[in-house]
Amino acid sequence: ALGPDFLKLHPKLRERFALASTDRLASIGHGHMHRVWHGHWTKPFLQLGAARHIMFPEARADIPFRLENYAYRDPLGRETVTWIRTFLFPQKPRRLDAYMIFSHQRNRIVDYLGTHQHLAVDLHLSVGPNGSLCIRSAHQRFHERFLSFPIPRAFTGIANVCESFDDNLQKFRIHVNVHNPIFGTIFGYEGPFSATTRPAPP
């Protein structure tokens, strides 16, 4: 998706994002999110999304965080990478599940969200001036059994994601902000984490 710009990423990010199914490796991260927030009006919608690991209604500071990236071939033979994020809130853990593939048809990465992967989101990738990876969501589509339709922009959450590496802390940093073009902030989180590569079963 980045083409030659992949080489402009910070070396630590290149290492993390070079994960492939043939490596039989996983990238497992742990850290603390400094802040997890949401818009006050969005809480009922976030509660609906929590059942399928798309969003959640909690907001709090200093939350333990776990990130799991596994690379595998899906049943259609596509190279896939998981983004399983677990936030360890005191009341109960919350998860955000995403599965990314590169679509040759759309010529970009497509992110399938939730436990049922019924929400498909096109992603635009770029490299920031500090070697960070910048991701912005675009067109979104809903797929559920025989239903399939594009979601109007007014009803979507537009995500802006930035992952970087802090050379002073020797940790990764993640900043995510999701907003609606009409109603404003939906939710977001930010904080540092460490990531290690370890063997993964087939």
pLDDT at site 52? 79
Nearest residue to 117 via CA among 153, 142, 146: 142
Torsion of CA 85, 86, 89, 90, to 10 degrees: -170
Mean pLDDT (the chain) is 92
Stretch 122-135: mean pLDDT, rounded? 96
Q: What's the CA gap between 106 and 139, in Å, rounded?
A: 11
Beta bridge partners of 149: 142
Could you tell me the pTM of the whole model?
A: 0.90
Cα gap 59→82, rounded to integer Å: 24
